[in-house]
Structure 1
Amino acid sequence: MSKSSKNIKDKLIQKKPRSYLNRDFNSFRSELLDYSRTHYSDKIQDFSEASMGGLFLDMAAYVGDVMSYYLDHQFNELDLETAVEDKNIEKLVRAAGVKISGAAPATVYVDFFIKSGFETTSQGRRPKTSDLPIIKVGTTVSSNTGVVFELGEDLDFSKKKADGRLIASYSIEKTDSSGLPTEYLLKLTGICKSGKTAEETFVIGDDYKQFRTIVLGSENITEIISVTDTERNEYYEVDSLTQDVVFKKVINTSDDSSLVSDNLELLPAPFRFISTASRQTGKTTIRFGSGDASTLDDDIIPDPSEVSLPLFGSKNTMKRFSIDPNALLKTRTLGVSPRGTKITVRYRAGGGLSHNVGSESIRSIKNLITKFSSGTPSSTISSVRASVFIINQAPAAGGESELTLGELKSVALAHRNSQSRIVTKQDLISRIYTMPANFGRVFRVGIRSNPNNPLSTIVAIVSRDASGSLIISPDTLKENVAEYLNEFRLISDAIDIVDARVLNVAVKYSIIVDSISNKELTIQKVNSELKRYLKIENFQIEQPLIISDLINIILNTPGVMSHVSVDIIGMSGNISNREYSNETFNIISNLKKGVLMVPPGSIIEVKYPDDDIIGSAE
């Protein structure tokens, strides 16, 4: 190239700077075409689509378009609000401090009945206490649909109150010819939780490994019951490996046990672990600490002289003090990493909406674990065990499907800026929705201030049954929520947990169908669209029902020319053999400017959409 032509090219480059704002194929190709014609017109003149020059432009523009797309995509994947890939959302949710869990198990009160003989006392005949057993934790029962529940507490039929009476209620089952009782029926109620208990053993090698991990084989694990090694060391689950103490429940055996069933103890936890569940695989991973289990470490702060790097050669002085950073991780500050042992893990798995079985559906005993007093005859043990039967008077509740990615994102956005305490309403909602699955799960939460106490907050909750309909949350679930929130609330705050009012409604509408459409098919289409909109998953506590949204859905259905009317009807009690909530409210007084407002702490539900969405056509 001559010197003069090079100067001309340099001047052209200075006059027309490169653009870095192109983002798609067309803009890249246009800029490349303009650039080529300006600077390389003496080399090639044909840049048509069928030419070699056009091929080069298309290839370069294609590469630029792909790179631009993936640059935008990867940048969006760094933000929880714009991320779309499952694995990235899962990482961002964990980074926000939200613990991912699977489907939640259901809890239910189950009545256990046993039959016993009699003994004569100064007050007359009563059940023979020496024959009464303890039904132990781990006893499993099942419903008529095959859902397995496990007893979560010991039921001691021989336990007495302070006044000497049995804590178990009893009635006379049989009498002799003179009318005196010869057999009693005793009842105790225990809390049972759905799911199956399993146990796995892992052989740990003798090599030291920081933050050792093991992956459990089952999916949808809701609770890790215990982790022990061959030296009988018990590993405690913590929120983070920096947590070195845990709270533990201990059965209260003192005289006030009727008022306080458990004592709470603060225990050191040198052996600890954290657990993480993966939505991708459904498996749960246990991660231990970094301390070396084979060394004695009784220093709170490591001694630098023990971990300093040795000096080689004949050096009498040194410029700076060197520390081996890897040696600092071998202390027990972050817990102990097991080595040369066997780890045994017991856990419970299973849950979901199908575990919310109905009342009087749990009648079968799969595995009865009992303990009798020493000296009880084997014949008595056999007869008492054979007499045991069970039933649940109330339906199971608390079982819920795992949170969807959209729900996890919503929870994480509210949880991201929170601390390990409840300060704002968003913190409170986030804590309830992320409560450990073994406590049960709340379907919807509503929060409002208490007008009678400025420091108190009213929390309204509601659950779902196996069919997905709203039901009142059981007392067990409310107690679990209260116990869980108590660890995070401020000492000056009060939280009142109440049941949300379920307001069942029906939708009745009338439309005008065009002459070329079938009226019945058009009504079916409208009903289908309204059913999709009125799904309970789309509603929150205290969320109003906007009538114009219903009208818009009706008018946008093919075949509908116009709507005549849309009416909301309250449903309560028993109507046409369909059970509705007993809650009632005045729809006319709550309907304002086309918006159906709901009372505080209430939620709207179309319980039977196939029957409660009623349409007519003209």
Structure 2
Amino acid sequence: MSKNQKKLLPIDYTHREFSSIQQDLLEIAERFYPESFQDFSEGSFGALMVDAVSYVGDQLSFYMDYNINESFLDTAFQFSNIVRHGRALGYKYEGRPSTYGKVALYIQVPASTTGIGPDRNYLPVLKRGSTFNSTNNLSFILTENVDFADTRNLFVAARNDSVTGAPTFYAVKTYGNVVSGQFGQERVTVGTFEKFKQITLNADNVSEVISVYDSQGNQYYEVDFLAQDVIFKEVTNPNFKNDNVPSIIKPLLVSRKFITFTDRNSTTLQFGSGRFNETNVVENPQNVAVNTYGKTYVTTTTFDPSRLSENESFGIVPSNTELIVTYRTNNPINSNVASTELNSINFANYEFIDQQNLNSTTLQTVRDSLDVSNEEPITGDISVPTSDEIKQRIYDTFPTQNRAVTQADYENMSYRMPPKFGSIKRVSVQKDANSQKRNLNLYIISEGSDGKLLKSNSSIKNNLKTWINQYRMINDTVDILDPYILNYGIEFVVRSQEAADKYIVLDSCMEALKENFTKTHFIGESLYISDIYRVLKEVSGVLDVLSVKIFSKTGANYSNSSININSNLSGDGSQLIVPNNAILELKFPEVDIVGKLR
């Protein structure tokens, strides 16, 4: 064979899988090397070589396709890669969701020496960080200091003197906010200086990094991005007794800072690139804003109020020390509890006004009398967002630029509320048709411990209101409302094929409908009856779908809201039109789906 013939070796670059590569190799061997390789039968050396090369080619093609797909957000499949794409576009995955709610706290204190009212010296402050347990062994943490001496609390006589009838103890009732989870702590030894040091925590299901200290007592603060210098710190309000505001927010300029990266299970802390003696965060905001260092002109008019430092070290990196990282983890399966199920004390941290001068026995009686109960269900979205949901939130995040202007902006900002403040399952924003001003109705719904829809409690609503206030337009007003939950059922009649087992066909139809229609609907999303026909027709053994009927379910374990099916059907009867302030739910598919076979 001449050199020219070898140069004309035909190569088809579109053949990339095992079988096509194998066939090409066999054709090349038969055409150009007929005397060297003749035996390609199964088990021969020639077959081994062809199969080995085909296998390698198939593997290379697969991984090339995989890596190319993972390089783009719309085609990425791996969860961690989707989160990385989102991080580059300004989206932050918050990690394991939390549930957030309010609990009623009760305590008994002795009566005052005058016999009128409780002895206020024995009214404690229950400190933030106290923990409670539910009947299903879930842990919840108190997120604020609760003052039993607050005059707004309810005081009632609890015990009376058997002779005089005068009160000897008073019961005090107050409320506090709690979040699901339990505290954990890790000690991490840090060696020599390393730029952009990263530390991955050993714990799984971390919802929040509470604090980071080094062995010298320096605190490191979490920021949104390493160039950020200003954070807002919660400070105890010394004037609390007068204005009833427990805390005030103050800006704080920080040089020790970190950001967090959260994957499906792991959490990583990343620090900056500066040394202790090289990082200066004290800066004149006027110079930062307009760059007027001796100049007679202005070079820029842009100013980021969260970045007051002009250094490029992005904060001090810990080195040759030990970091103490405190975090909060959550139950990966369920963090919701029904009403009255949060009822036991795990750890209570008290603070009394003048503890040293109080009777120790009475103090212990007061401590032991603490009781807790949740009057409302503590709920939130307990499920981790799927890859498709993460993608959609990333698409919504990128154009918002940390402000809410459009409907999609408000919905995206609501979903982005940190899980430690409570999670919501579905959000919908609608313009208030009855308002003459720019009023918006923001409908939210949560998920119970059984995965069923549940109205969001007041704590989640208050947190969401505070959260979106930092992003909304100044002349927008937002009302946070509950959508109507519309429970429905499906009744169908199908005809099976002659040779098919009717019982198996009917069971298959039921399972197919469960799989397709038990997923959580969106608020205002219509139900396409034509989709029910399509799902049933795709079931093996079904010859024809004779009829499909939708009916409303109310009362007992269902919602009290209902929808008139006939009045809300589209003209051709293929669609059930749902109001914008309502959400459909197939609550109990085992009984809500009724099928017949003919």
Shorter-chain TM-score: what band?
A: 0.7 to 0.9
Q: 1:569 to 1:183 in 2, by over 3 A?
A: same
Question: 1:215 corresponds to which letter in structure 2?
Answer: T
Deviation at 1:418, TM superposition (A): 3.9
Secondary structure, in 3 states, of the residue corresponding to 2:112?
A: strand
Matched, 1:524 2:489: no
Partner Cα distance (1:570, 1:437) in 2: 33
* Match of residue 135 from structure 1: 126
* Match of residue 323 from structure 1: none
Question: 1:200 corresponds to which letter in structure 2?
Answer: E
Partner Cα distance (2:474, 2:576) in 1: 38
Secondary structure, in 3 states, of the residue corresponding to 1:171?
A: strand
* Match of residue 70 from structure 2: 77
* Match of residue 384 from structure 2: 402
Q: Is the contact made by 2:279 and 2:316 (CA closer than 8 Å) also made in structure 1?
A: no
* Match of residue 315 from structure 1: none
Matched, 1:216 2:201: yes
1:133-282 pair list within 5 angstroms? 133-159=124-150, 166-176=151-161, 177=163, 179-205=165-191, 207-254=192-239, 258=243, 260-279=245-264, 282=265
* Match of residue 334 from structure 2: 354
Partner Cα distance (2:525, 2:38) in 1: 61
* Match of residue 497 from structure 1: 480
Q: 1:28 to 1:119 in 2, by over 3 A?
A: closer
* Match of residue 511 from structure 1: 494
Q: Is the contact made by 1:293 and 1:339 (CA closer than 8 Å) also made in structure 2?
A: no
Question: 1:525 corresponds to which letter in structure 2?
Answer: S
Partner Cα distance (2:106, 2:49) in 1: 85
Partner Cα distance (1:90, 1:296) in 2: 31
* Match of residue 110 from structure 1: 103
* Match of residue 591 from structure 1: 569
Deviation at 1:409, TM superposition (A): 2.4
Deviation at 1:58, TM superposition (A): 7.3
Q: Is the contact made by 1:93 and 1:412 (CA closer than 8 Å) also made in structure 2?
A: yes
Partner Cα distance (2:199, 2:36) in 1: 65
Q: Is the contact made by 1:354 and 1:399 (CA closer than 8 Å) also made in structure 2?
A: no
Question: 1:545 corresponds to which letter in structure 2?
Answer: L
Moved more, 499-508 or 169-178: 169-178
Deviation at 1:67, TM superposition (A): 4.0
Q: Is the contact made by 2:492 and 2:549 (CA closer than 8 Å) also made in structure 1?
A: yes
* Match of residue 435 from structure 1: 417
* Match of residue 614 from structure 1: 594
Partner Cα distance (2:256, 2:371) in 1: 41
1:360-371 pair list within 5 angstroms? 360-371=340-351
Moved more, 134-143 or 178-187: 178-187
Deviation at 1:23, TM superposition (A): 4.5
Deviation at 1:186, TM superposition (A): 0.8
Deviations 1:31-54 (A, max 9, x none): 77888899x69x869889569999
Larger Rg: 1
Matched, 1:387 2:378: no
Partner Cα distance (1:293, 1:335) in 2: 9
Partner Cα distance (2:584, 2:85) in 1: 33
Question: 2:193 corresponds to which letter in structure 1?
Answer: Y
- Residue number among 81, 85, 107 corresponding to 1:88 in the alignment: 81
Partner Cα distance (2:506, 2:15) in 1: 50
Partner Cα distance (1:331, 1:594) in 2: 63
Secondary structure, in 3 states, of the residue corresponding to 2:116?
A: strand
Partner Cα distance (2:198, 2:498) in 1: 68
- Residue number among 412, 420, 429 corresponding to 1:447 in the alignment: 429
Deviations 1:539-579 (A, max 9, x none): 211111111211222333344443343222212221xxxx1
Matched, 1:581 2:564: no
Moved more, 291-300 or 28-37: 28-37
Partner Cα distance (1:586, 1:243) in 2: 54
Q: 1:443 to 1:156 in 2, by over 3 A?
A: same
Secondary structure, in 3 states, of the residue corresponding to 1:536?
A: coil
The aligned length equals: 566
RMSD: 3.3
Deviation at 1:492, TM superposition (A): 3.8
Question: 1:438 corresponds to which letter in structure 2?
Answer: K
Secondary structure, in 3 states, of the residue corresponding to 2:375?
A: coil
Q: 1:392 to 1:88 in 2, by over 3 A?
A: closer
* Match of residue 290 from structure 2: none
Deviation at 1:299, TM superposition (A): 7.7
Question: 1:127 corresponds to which letter in structure 2?
Answer: P
Partner Cα distance (2:281, 2:566) in 1: 72
Partner Cα distance (2:332, 2:560) in 1: 26
Deviations 1:564-605 (A, max 9, x none): 43222212221xxxx111222212111112201111121100
Partner Cα distance (1:174, 1:445) in 2: 48
Instruction: Structure 1 unaligned segments of length 5 or more: list them.
Output: 160-165, 302-328
Partner Cα distance (1:443, 1:381) in 2: 44
* Match of residue 315 from structure 2: 335
Deviations 1:189-243 (A, max 9, x none): 11111111122223333x3222222222211111111122234322211010000
Matched, 1:421 2:421: no
Question: 1:387 corresponds to which letter in structure 2?
Answer: S
Q: 1:255 to 1:481 in 2, by over 3 A?
A: closer
* Match of residue 318 from structure 1: none
Q: Is the contact made by 2:240 and 2:246 (CA closer than 8 Å) also made in structure 1?
A: no
Partner Cα distance (1:222, 1:58) in 2: 49
Deviation at 1:420, TM superposition (A): 2.6
Secondary structure, in 3 states, of the residue corresponding to 1:126?
A: coil
Q: 1:479 to 1:47 in 2, by over 3 A?
A: farther
Q: 1:494 to 1:256 in 2, by over 3 A?
A: farther
Partner Cα distance (2:91, 2:322) in 1: 31
Deviation at 1:610, TM superposition (A): 1.2
Deviations 1:322-377 (A, max 9, x none): xxxxxxx9967411112233322221111456211111111111112111221221
Deviation at 1:379, TM superposition (A): 1.4
Instruction: Structure 2 unaligned segments of length 5 or more: list them.
Output: 285-308
